[in-house]
């Protein structure tokens, strides 16, 4: 909490150090990869509904107990399981040294957790948005002060905050940042790639055919709070390095804690961290703990937090995840693919915010975006084939995805929207996390 003790309050120089510390991942192998998948817990009975953490289901006193059992299953595979404010279930793999290993770990863990929900009449759905239920049916379920502050801050800025917190799911891909010039190149290509990744793997449709949004989840993030989402201003302007970009974003973003504390006591308008450092606040000045928490509330399309965290992609069903992760990893981790893709996408740097909006709305139905995506992912496909542990079967999964969607100007969102129009239950089956086979359970 803020302090009036000058010896405890942090200075601008302290913030520079804290940001550099947060960006620096320390010793690195250069090939680390981890995955974070969010899933929607719903009932299977008709009409379906979202499951809430504290509600009983059948003989089970609460869904929280199912989550606790799932947490033990996740730990057995090296993963972790947590819940998001709307009750979404999040699985995070361990840091693996090969992309196929991370994918296999996620598949095993998700299957076991899905089996826990299946046993109580539930399903876990992989889609970027809960297209089956209204957001009001999924209230905020986590009481921690962090989430209360975030919910109040974002709700004051529009309806996209509650939608994002309680009604959306993502598949986050975490990749080794590397060091020196390679870190700058990986940071650059991941940011430049983010809008195309949104379009190529979109799975949160909204609207109707002809005026369909492909990634409503992405649009929610883009409209959320421009001071903390999107792309770092320094990156768009191509000034400085990774740490400089994160520092500028941290200094200019509104501080959630200040929103909760209210007026600044007669001082100049104090909203950003930079304002707070310069002018103080009636309740005191920021401490190291305040700055560290502030850094966790920055949500750009790509975060540098000791590794690269690509946040631009909707959650997609299990059958599409292998191709998705291999393509992104091939684009970022393979030097030849990365250099080629940087050459293609660098001209779009300054216009990334507009590109991100086009990619979320029109997606690959825009012929120009489709042509660009086909070219970029061709380099990524070749890069993925050169990564350790990638097999011929992995390559076939990539080719199958590109043939099914990308070259046709489509994404999973198009299939999901078409099924919703026919029968929402068909769409639910399409998105349901598959259950493990008997052999997989005993593996």
Higher pLDDT, 359 or 5: 359
What pLDDT score was predicted for residue 315?
98
Q: Is residue 114 part of a domain?
A: yes
Q: Is residue 240 part of a domain?
A: no
Q: Is residue 80 part of a domain?
A: yes
| Domain membership of residue 46 as a residue range | 31-221+301-441
Q: Is residue 255 part of a domain?
A: no
- DSSP lists the bridge partners of residue 285 as 3
What pLDDT score was predicted for residue 339?
98
**Three-class SS of residue 216?**
helix
- Give the model confidence (pLDDT) of 397-421 as tens digits: 999 999 999 999 999 999 999 999 9
The CATH number assigned to the domain holding 322 equals 3.30.590.20
Q: Is residue 19 part of a domain?
A: no
What pLDDT score was predicted for residue 400?
98
Q: Are strands 33-43 and 80-83 parallel, antiparallel or unpaired?
A: unpaired
pLDDT band at 266 (very low <50, low <70, confident <90, very high): low
> Looking at the predicted structure, is the pLDDT value of residue 207 above 90?
no
* Residue 287, H or E segment: none
Using CA atoms, how far apart are residues 334 and 373, in angstroms rounded to an integer?
18
Q: Is residue 284 part of a domain?
A: no
Q: What is the mean pLDDT of the chain?
A: 93
State how many domains the chain has: 1
Using CA atoms, how far apart are residues 230 and 207, in angstroms rounded to an integer?
23
Q: Are 176 and 32 in contact (CB under 8 A)?
A: yes
> Looking at the predicted structure, is the pLDDT value of residue 78 above 80?
yes
DSSP for 190-203 reads: HHHHHHHHHHHT--
Q: Is residue 260 part of a domain?
A: no
Higher pLDDT, 161 or 265: 161
> Looking at the predicted structure, is the pLDDT value of residue 34 above 90?
yes
pLDDT band at 441 (very low <50, low <70, confident <90, very high): low
Q: Is residue 412 part of a domain?
A: yes
């Amino acid at each position: 909490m803020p302090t009036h003790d000058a010896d405890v309050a942090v200075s601008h120089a302290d913030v520079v150090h804290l940001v550099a510390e947060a960006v620096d991942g320390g010793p690195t192998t250069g090939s680390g990869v981890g995955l974070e998948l969010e899933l929607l817990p719903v009932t299977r009975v008709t009409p379906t509904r979202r499951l809430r953490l504290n509600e009983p289901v059948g003989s089970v006193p609460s869904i929280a107990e199912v989550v606790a059992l799932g947490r033990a299953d996740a730990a057995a595979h090296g993963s972790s399981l947590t819940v998001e404010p709307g009750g979404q279930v999040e699985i995070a793999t361990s840091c693996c040294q090969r992309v196929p290993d991370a994918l296999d770990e996620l598949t095993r863990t998700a299957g076991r957790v899905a089996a826990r929900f299946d046993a109580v009449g539930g399903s876990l759905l992989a889609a970027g948005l809960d297209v089956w239920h209204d957001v009001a049916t999924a209230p905020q379920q986590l009481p921690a002060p962090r989430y209360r502050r975030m919910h109040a801050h974002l709700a004051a800025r529009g309806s996209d905050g509650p939608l994002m917190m309680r009604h959306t799911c993502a598949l986050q891909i975490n990749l080794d940042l590397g060091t020196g010039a390679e870190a700058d190149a990986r940071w650059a290509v991941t940011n430049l790639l983010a809008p195309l990744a949104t379009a190529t793997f979109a799975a949160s449709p909204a609207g109707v055919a002809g005026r369909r949004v492909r990634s409503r989840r992405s649009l929610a993030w883009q409209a959320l709070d421009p001071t903390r989402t999107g792309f770092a201003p320094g990156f768009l302007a191509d000034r400085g390095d990774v740490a400089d970009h994160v520092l500028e974003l941290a200094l200019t973003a509104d501080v959630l804690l200040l929103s909760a504390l209210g007026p600044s006591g007669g001082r100049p308008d104090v909203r950003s961290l930079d304002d707070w450092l310069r002018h103080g606040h009636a309740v005191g000045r920021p401490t190291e703990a305040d700055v560290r928490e502030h850094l966790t509330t920055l949500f750009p399309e790509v975060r540098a937090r000791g590794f690269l965290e690509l946040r631009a992609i909707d959650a997609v069903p299990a059958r599409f995840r292998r191709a998705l992760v291999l393509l992104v990893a091939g684009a970022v981790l393979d030097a030849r693919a990365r250099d080629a893709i940087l050459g293609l996408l660098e001209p779009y740097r300054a216009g990334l915010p507009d590109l991100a909006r086009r990619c979320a709305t029109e997606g690959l139905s825009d012929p120009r975006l489709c042509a660009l995506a086909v070219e970029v992912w061709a380099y990524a496909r070749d890069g993925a084939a050169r990564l350790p542990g990638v097999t011929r079967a992995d390559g076939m999964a990539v080719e199958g995805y590109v043939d099914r969607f990308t070259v046709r100007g489509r994404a999973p969102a198009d299939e999901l929207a078409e099924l919703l129009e026919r029968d929402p239950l068909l769409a639910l089956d399409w998105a349901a996390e598959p259950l493990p086979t008997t052999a997989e359970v005993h593996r």
